[in-house]
C-alpha cells in the first residue's frame, strides 16, 4: 500500500483532536494539511495558534517529529489504513449533508459499500435475547434486499446487526470511536475482522493509537446517524449513547424507527419514549422497507449463490457521485466529469449492471 505525503500530513493534523468545524476551518483557510504541516515544522507554529489550545499544539508538536511520523505511517501500513478527505470523490455524500461532517476520515476496507442504501441499527450492549434475535433477523432481511447495515462494532445489538447483515450477503459498515488499530472493545475483534473479510468498511475520525475515550462516543454517533438513510433503535435506556445517535438523526432530518420490545422492561424505555414522540413503529424488516420505499427491490439470491461484485473503478465512483445531485443526461455527465464519451458509456453500463443506477428516456440516468 502506497501513501502520499499529503496522506501523512492529513493524518498528522488529526492528532490535534480538533472538533470537526474547527478542522474544517483550518483546511479551508490554508488550503491543505500539507501546507499547515510545512509551516508548523518550519518554525511557524503560530500558524495554528488561532485555532488550537496549548495542549493541542503540544500534541501536534510531538507527532510532527520524524520518528513519530514514521511510526504513524508504519502503523497505517500494518493495518491497511487509509485516509479520505471530504473533498475526495469516495467520501460518502450522506456525510457531506450533515451539519458537522468530519473533514477527514480514516478507513479500512472497501469504500464502495458507502455508495449503497444504508440503514443504521443501534441499541444496548446488554440486550435481551428477544432483542438480539430481532436485530439479527431484521439486519439479515434488510441485507437480503441489498441494504448495508451501519453500526458501532460494540457487543450486543451492534454485533448482531453486523453479523445479520453479513449473513444476508450485503457488506456492512462499522464506525469506531478510537483509532482503527485499537482493539476496542476487547474481545470483539472477531466481528471487526468479519466486516473487513466480507468486503465491508470500518471508519473513524480518530488517528492511529487513539484510545476509546468516553467523550468520543457522542461525537462519533453523529457519523453513525449520518451514514444511514434512517436509524433503527432496537433496545436502549432513555439516557444512553444510543439515544444520542437518535438525537443526531433527528437533527439531520433522518427517519427514526423504534422496535417496541416488551412493555415495562428496563431496556425498552428508550423505544417506547420515541414511539410516544412519533417515531416510526416497526416489527419487521418489511415495515422498514415499505416506509423507505425500498420494498419493490427483490431479495438477493441466497448467500452461497451470490457472486461477489467487482470493486468500482475510479470512473464509476465519479459518475455515481455526480448522480447524487439528481437526474442527469449523458451530455451533462460528460461535461461535469471530464470523462471521454467511451469511458463514460462504459462506466454507466457497469453501474446499471450492478443495479446502482437506471437509465431513463432521453438518455438520462438516475440513482436507484
Asked if the structure places residue 146 within a domain, the reply is yes
Tell me: do 136 and 197 sit in the same domain.
Answer: yes
Q: How far apart are CA 258 and CA 254, in angstroms?
A: 13
The whole-number pLDDT of residue 303 equals 47
Asked if the structure places residue 302 within a domain, the reply is no
Q: 10 Å Cβ neighbour count for 62?
A: 10
The whole-number pLDDT of residue 305 equals 40
Tell me: do 30 and 125 sit in the same domain.
Answer: no
Mean pLDDT over 128-155 rounds to 95
The whole-number pLDDT of residue 209 equals 97
Domain that holds residue 362: 312-367
Residues 70-83: tens digit of each pLDDT: 999 999 999 999 99
Looking up residue 351, the CATH number of its domain turns out to be 1.10.10.10
Tell me: do 154 and 280 sit in the same domain.
Answer: yes
Q: Hey, what's the torsion of the CAs at 156, 159, 161, 166, to 10 degrees?
A: -160
Tell me: do 142 and 264 sit in the same domain.
Answer: yes
Q: Which of 232, 221, 261, 241 is nearest to 133 (CA)?
A: 261
As for how many domains the chain has, the answer is: 3
C-alpha cell, 159: 454485533
Tell me: do 153 and 256 sit in the same domain.
Answer: yes
On average, the pLDDT of the chain sits at 91
C-alpha cell, 234: 432496537
Looking at per-residue pLDDT, the higher value among 314 and 306 belongs to 314
Tell me: do 179 and 249 sit in the same domain.
Answer: yes
DSSP notation for 251-292: HTT-EEEE---STT-GGGHHHHHHHHTTPEE-SSHHHHHHHH
- Confidence grade of residue 266 (pLDDT, cut at 50, 70, 90): low
The whole-number pLDDT of residue 296 equals 77
185 upstream amide cis, omega within 30 of 0: yes
The whole-number pLDDT of residue 312 equals 81
Tell me: do 7 and 58 sit in the same domain.
Answer: yes
Mean pLDDT over 264-274 rounds to 76
Residues 315-352: tens digit of each pLDDT: 888 888 888 767 899 999 988 888 999 899 988 988 88
Residue 263: pLDDT above 70?
no
The whole-number pLDDT of residue 325 equals 67
The whole-number pLDDT of residue 258 equals 93
Amino acid at each position: 500500500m502506497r501513501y502520499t505525503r499529503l496522506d501523512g500530513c492529513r493524518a498528522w493534523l488529526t492528532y490535534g483532536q480538533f472538533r470537526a468545524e474547527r478542522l474544517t476551518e483550518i483546511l479551508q483557510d490554508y488550503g491543505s494539511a500539507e501546507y499547515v504541516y510545512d509551516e508548523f515544522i518550519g518554525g511557524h507554529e503560530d500558524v495554528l495558534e488561532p485555532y488550537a489550545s496549548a495542549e493541542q499544539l503540544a500534541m501536534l508538536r510531538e507527532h510532527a517529529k520524524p520518528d513519530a511520523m514514521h511510526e504513524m505511517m508504519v502503523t497505517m501500513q500494518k493495518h491497511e489504513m487509509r485516509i479520505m478527505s471530504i473533498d475526495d470523490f469516495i467520501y460518502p455524500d450522506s456525510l457531506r449533508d450533515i451539519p458537522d461532517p468530519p473533514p477527514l476520515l480514516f478507513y479500512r476496507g472497501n469504500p464502495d459499500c458507502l455508495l449503497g442504501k444504508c440503514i443504521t441499527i443501534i441499541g444496548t450492549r446488554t440486550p435481551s435475547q428477544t432483542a438480539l434475535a430481532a436485530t439479527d433477523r431484521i439486519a439479515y432481511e434488510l441485507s437480503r434486499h441489498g441494504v448495508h447495515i451501519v453500526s458501532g462494532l460494540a457487543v450486543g445489538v451492534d454485533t448482531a446487526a453486523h453479523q445479520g447483515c453479513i449473513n444476508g450477503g450485503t457488506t456492512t459498515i462499522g464506525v469506531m470511536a478510537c483509532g482503527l488499530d485499537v482493539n476496542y472493545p476487547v474481545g470483539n475483534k472477531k466481528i471487526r475482522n468479519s466486516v473487513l473479510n466480507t468486503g465491508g468498511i470500518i471508519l473513524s475520525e480518530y488517528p492511529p493509537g487513539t484510545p476509546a475515550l468516553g467523550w468520543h462516543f457522542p461525537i462519533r454517533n453523529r457519523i453513525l446517524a449520518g451514514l444511514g438513510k434512517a436509524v433503527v433503535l432496537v433496545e436502549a435506556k432513555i439516557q444512553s449513547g444510543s439515544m444520542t445517535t437518535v438525537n443526531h438523526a433527528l437533527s439531520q432530518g433522518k427517519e427514526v424507527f423504534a422496535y417496541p420490545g416488551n412493555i415495562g422492561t428496563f431496556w425498552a424505555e428508550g423505544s417506547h419514549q420515541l414511539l410516544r414522540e412519533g417515531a416510526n413503529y416497526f416489527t419487521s424488516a418489511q415495515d422498514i422497507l415499505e416506509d423507505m420505499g425500498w420494498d419493490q427491490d427483490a431479495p438477493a439470491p441466497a448467500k452461497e449463490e451470490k457472486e461477489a461484485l467487482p470493486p468500482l473503478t475510479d470512473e464509476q465512483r465519479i459518475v455515481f457521485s455526480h448522480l447524487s445531485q439528481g437526474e442527469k443526461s449523458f451530455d451533462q455527465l460528460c461535461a461535469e466529469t471530464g470523462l471521454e464519451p467511451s469511458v463514460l458509456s462504459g462506466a454507466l453500463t457497469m453501474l446499471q449492471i450492478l443495479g446502482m443506477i437506471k437509465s431513463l428516456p432521453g438518455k438520462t440516468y438516475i440513482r436507484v
